[in-house]
């Protein structure tokens, strides 16, 4: 396993060199954490692949049998995960923290400013890697085992466990990043047509893959609600309450800020908050709410928008890995 990509190594070398010239104590800290990651990468590399049967049993393991095993045993408990999956996940998180440290140093060490773009890029890429792994895991469940996208999801998850990457990662990360940016570059409007206006606005700002996604599955149950949750960063239940208030008060449309004010909420997306981190936190909150609805059989989307999008990628022949 390569500890650092070429881009990560370049950013680290440049940052450490600047910190050394400044005689900063953080130079040795960054160097020490980098060496620790090299050792951890070696341990991860030696861990057995989850796609190899160490006991050489008669029934050969394949993606279909592995998919059924993963879905039946579950992936929510660490005891059901392969050693390489657990170690690899920890490796990615540790690397994320290293670049997170550099991001914090940008706030106080002006000399690191030339490295800002590279540091933030590598930090964002690591966040999307963790998000992709979580998404593939979420898509493998017993109730969906016969869905056409389950085996591709298993394949991509094993790729993540084995190599800490995925064939769909670049397409997914780019599209979700651009949607999040579009979310902040337009004024979202919630009206009585359940997001139709906003979908039309976003279509002109996004790449073809997102336009195709909206065109092909926007009529499926839950997609429109999931999109609204993404845009407004509000739960489905809060949007229902908001719509009721709009009817009672005779309000036709509201923007994001007004929506939060009507619900008595304070927007937490501070300007200084890293946009990729804000997206990741939003995704985790929406995914958790969706899981609760699924367990309780409640109304509302039972998947996050990101999950719907990954299902589309795994099911589409137009966007091969």
- Nearest CA to 129 out of 170, 87, 78, 175 is that of 170
Query: Mean of the pLDDT values across residues 177-204?
Result: 65
pLDDT at res. 75: 65
Q: Are residues 153 and 219 in the same domain?
A: no
Residue at 281 is within a domain: yes
Q: Are residues 138 and 210 in the same domain?
A: no
Domain end call among 100, 132, 165: 165
Q: 155 or 197: which carries more pLDDT confidence?
A: 155
Domain end call among 121, 140, 165: 165
Residue 189 backbone dihedrals phi, psi, to 5 degrees: -125, 125
pLDDT at res. 194: 47
CA distance linking residue 107 with residue 130, whole number of Å: 25
Count of alpha carbons within 13 Å of 295, Cβ hemisphere only?
A: 6
Residue at 199 is within a domain: yes
DSSP one-letter string for 6-37: HHHHHHHHHHHHHHHHTT-THHHHHHHHHHHH
Residue at 1 is within a domain: no
Q: Are residues 151 and 179 in the same domain?
A: no
Q: Are residues 151 and 176 in the same domain?
A: no
Least confident of 6-20, 34-48, 221-235, 276-290: 221-235
Q: Which residues contact 259 (CB under 8 A, 6 or more apart)?
A: 190, 232, 234, 242
Residue at 297 is within a domain: yes
Of 72-81, 91-100, 259-268, give the range with the top mean pLDDT.
91-100
Structural element, H or E, at residue 141: none
pLDDT at res. 170: 80
Q: Which two tokens stand for residue 126?
A: 């690591």
Least confident of 90-99, 209-218, 250-259: 209-218
Cα 258 from chain centroid (whole Å)? 27
pLDDT at 267 over 80: no
Q: 54 or 286: which carries more pLDDT confidence?
A: 286
Provide the domain limits for residue 108: 6-165
CA distance linking residue 306 with residue 175, whole number of Å: 10
Residue at 321 is within a domain: no
Domain end call among 144, 165, 186: 165
Residue appearing with tokens 């160490």: 54
pLDDT at 129 over 70: yes
pLDDT at 286 over 90: yes
**Number of separate domains in the chain:** 2
Residue at 320 is within a domain: no
Q: Are residues 147 and 239 in the same domain?
A: no
Residue 59 backbone dihedrals phi, psi, to 5 degrees: -80, 105
Query: Mean of the pLDDT values across residues 68-95?
Result: 79
Q: Are residues 254 and 237 in the same domain?
A: yes
Q: Where are the alpha helices (DSSP H) in the chain?
A: 6-21, 26-46, 63-73, 83-106, 116-138, 150-163, 169-185, 196-203, 208-217, 223-232, 236-249, 256-262, 275-296, 305-315
pLDDT at 269 over 60: no
Residue at 213 is within a domain: yes
Q: Are residues 196 and 213 in the same domain?
A: yes
pLDDT digit string (tens) for 99-118? 999 999 999 999 999 999 99
- Nearest CA to 18 out of 99, 96, 108, 109 is that of 109
Least confident of 17-26, 199-208, 220-229, 294-303: 199-208
Q: Are residues 159 and 11 in the same domain?
A: yes
Q: Are residues 153 and 189 in the same domain?
A: no
């Amino acid at each position: 396993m390569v500890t650092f990509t070429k881009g990560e190594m370049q950013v680290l070398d440049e940052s450490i060199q600047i910190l050394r010239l400044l005689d900063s104590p953080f130079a040795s800290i960054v160097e020490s954490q980098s060496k620790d990651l090299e050792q951890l990468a070696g341990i991860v590399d030696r861990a057995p692949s989850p796609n190899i049967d160490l006991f050489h049993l008669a029934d050969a393991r394949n993606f279909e049998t592995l998919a059924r095993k993963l879905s039946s045993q579950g992936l929510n408990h660490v005891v059901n995960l392969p050693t390489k999956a657990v170690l690899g996940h920890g490796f990615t998180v540790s690397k994320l923290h290293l670049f997170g440290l550099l991001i914090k140093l940008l706030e106080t060490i002006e000399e690191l400013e030339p490295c800002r773009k590279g540091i933030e890029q590598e930090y964002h890429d690591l966040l999307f890697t963790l998000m992709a792994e979580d998404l593939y895991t979420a898509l493998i469940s017993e109730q969906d085992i016969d869905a056409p996208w389950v085996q591709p999801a298993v394949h991509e998850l094993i790729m993540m466990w084995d190599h800490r990457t995925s064939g769909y990662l670049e397409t997914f990360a780019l599209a979700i990043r651009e949607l999040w940016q579009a979310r902040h570059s337009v004024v979202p409007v919630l009206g009585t047509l359940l997001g139709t206006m906003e979908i039309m606005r976003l279509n002109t700002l996004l790449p073809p893959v997102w336009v195709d996604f909206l065109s092909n599955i926007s009529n499926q149950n839950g997609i429109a609600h999931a999109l609204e949750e993404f845009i407004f960063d509000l739960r489905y239940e809060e949007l229902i309450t908001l719509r009721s208030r709009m009817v009672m008060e005779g309000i036709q449309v509201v923007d994001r800020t007004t929506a939060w004010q009507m619900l008595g909420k304070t927007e937490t997306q501070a300007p200084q908050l890293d946009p990729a981190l804000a997206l990741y936190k939003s995704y985790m909150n929406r995914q958790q709410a969706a899981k609760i609805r699924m367990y309780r059989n409640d109304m509302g989307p039972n998947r996050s928008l990101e999950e719907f999008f990954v299902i589309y990628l795994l099911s589409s022949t137009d966007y091969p890995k």
